[in-house]
């Protein structure tokens, strides 16, 4: 978790000639100036005055002006219900594109959970299997977005995302430790049981992973001097498209430049949401 209280940062995008406003923030610094719809993903989320009609600070003249929605993701973790998370991402896109709302997404530090949500949204909006959603969010929003090891595992095995090159060695270390502990790979158990049902198996490997990195550091056997990641109603058929996770290395080599300031929106994806929501 980041010590500083990360304030709101714009993550807007263009579609069909229109600019849509989205921002991310620390939960203590929501973008009240520009947004009226707020989504908090923190496990211990703040309750604001506009949510408490019984408080002395409640402004009856502004009743109904703000909307607050909550989707809990544990700190340094990932969603425990992928179907619900998929519908949650569709919901955000719908509120922005179809309803024209300015949306603010926040979490404990404004980086980890918020970054995962932003990357998932970008991934869902882009059909190109070589587009690197994580790199895009890191470039446009925050350098440390989606750098927790369990979120990287979720991004690869569930969201079909390309893992940034600098994170690949650490993902491989974690996958190897998981297989040593459980006898089979993450991909095997995810296919047999469903990823949502192996969350505890994933989290149980984290202490061993942390210990492995610490031992490697102490013995000066770090991997290429790369900094380790921070250890810290169905709507439509739209989903997190992608090839099998085994193809991530190939996709990494062929991934596109992600330095653009606008999300490369896929028009058919938006139309599916608007038609089916």
Segment among 6-10, 233-237, 252-256 with least mean pLDDT: 233-237
Q: How large is the average pLDDT for residues 123-147? A: 90
**H-helix segments, the chain:** 82-97, 112-125, 133-140, 149-157, 168-182, 186-193, 199-218, 248-254, 267-276
- Dist CA 231 CA 208 (whole Å): 12
| pLDDT (0 to 100) of residue 14 | 72
Residue 271's pLDDT is 52
Position 221 pLDDT exceeds 80 = no
Q: Which backbone phi and psi does 22 adopt, to 5 degrees?
A: -140, 140
Give strand pairing partners of 106: 25, 40
Q: Are 59 and 50 in contact (CB under 8 A)?
A: yes
What DSSP state is assigned to residue 158?
T
Mean pLDDT of 234-243: 45
**65 contacts 36 by C-beta, under 8 angstroms:** yes
Average pLDDT, the chain: 79
Residue 243 is predicted with a pLDDT of: 42
Query: Alpha-carbon distance 271 to 277, whole Å?
Result: 10
Number of neighbours of residue 164 by Cβ within 10 angstroms? 20
Residue ranges per structural domain of the chain: 1-125, 152-232+241-258
When pLDDT is cut at 50, 70 and 90, the band that residue 208 belongs to is: very high
pLDDT band at 5 (very low <50, low <70, confident <90, very high): low
Class of CATH domain 1-125: alpha beta
Determine the average pLDDT of the residues in 254-261: 46
Lowest-pLDDT range of 3-7, 70-74, 75-79: 3-7
More confidently predicted of 276 and 219: 219
Give the integer Cα–Cα distance in Å for 117 and 114: 5
- Token pair, residue 222, equals 């770090």
Q: Note the pLDDT tens digit of each residue in 85-112.
A: 999 999 999 988 888 889 999 998 889 9
3-state secondary structure at position 54:
coil
């Amino acid at each position: 978790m980041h010590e500083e209280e990360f304030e709101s940062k714009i993550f807007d995008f263009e579609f069909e000639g229109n600019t849509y406003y989205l921002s991310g923030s620390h939960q203590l610094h929501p973008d009240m100036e520009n947004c009226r719809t707020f989504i908090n993903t923190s496990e211990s989320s703040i309750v604001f005055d506009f949510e408490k009609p019984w408080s002395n600070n409640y402004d009856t003249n502004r009743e109904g002006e703000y909307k607050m929605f909550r989707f809990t993701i544990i700190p340094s973790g990932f969603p425990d219900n992928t179907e619900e998370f998929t519908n949650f991402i569709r919901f955000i896109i719908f509120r922005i594109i179809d309803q024209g709302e300015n949306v603010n997404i926040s979490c404990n530090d404004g980086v980890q959970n918020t970054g995962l949500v932003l990357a998932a949204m970008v991934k869902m909006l882009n059909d190109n299997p070589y587009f690197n959603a994580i790199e895009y969010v890191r470039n446009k929003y925050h350098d440390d977005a989606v750098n927790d090891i369990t979120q990287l595992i979720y991004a690869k095995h569930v969201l079909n995302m390309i893992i940034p090159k600098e994170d690949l060695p650490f993902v491989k270390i974690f996958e190897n430790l998981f297989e040593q502990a459980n006898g089979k790979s993450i991909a095997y158990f995810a296919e047999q049981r469903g990823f949502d049902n192996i969350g505890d198996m994933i989290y149980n490997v984290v202490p061993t992973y942390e210990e492995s990195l610490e031992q490697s550091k102490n013995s000066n056997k770090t991997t290429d001097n790369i900094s380790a990641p921070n250890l810290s109603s169905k709507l439509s058929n739209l989903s997190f498209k992608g090839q099998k996770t085994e193809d991530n290395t190939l996709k990494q080599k062929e991934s596109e430049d992600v330095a653009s300031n606008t999300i490369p929106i896929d028009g058919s994806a938006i139309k599916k949401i608007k038609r089916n929501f």
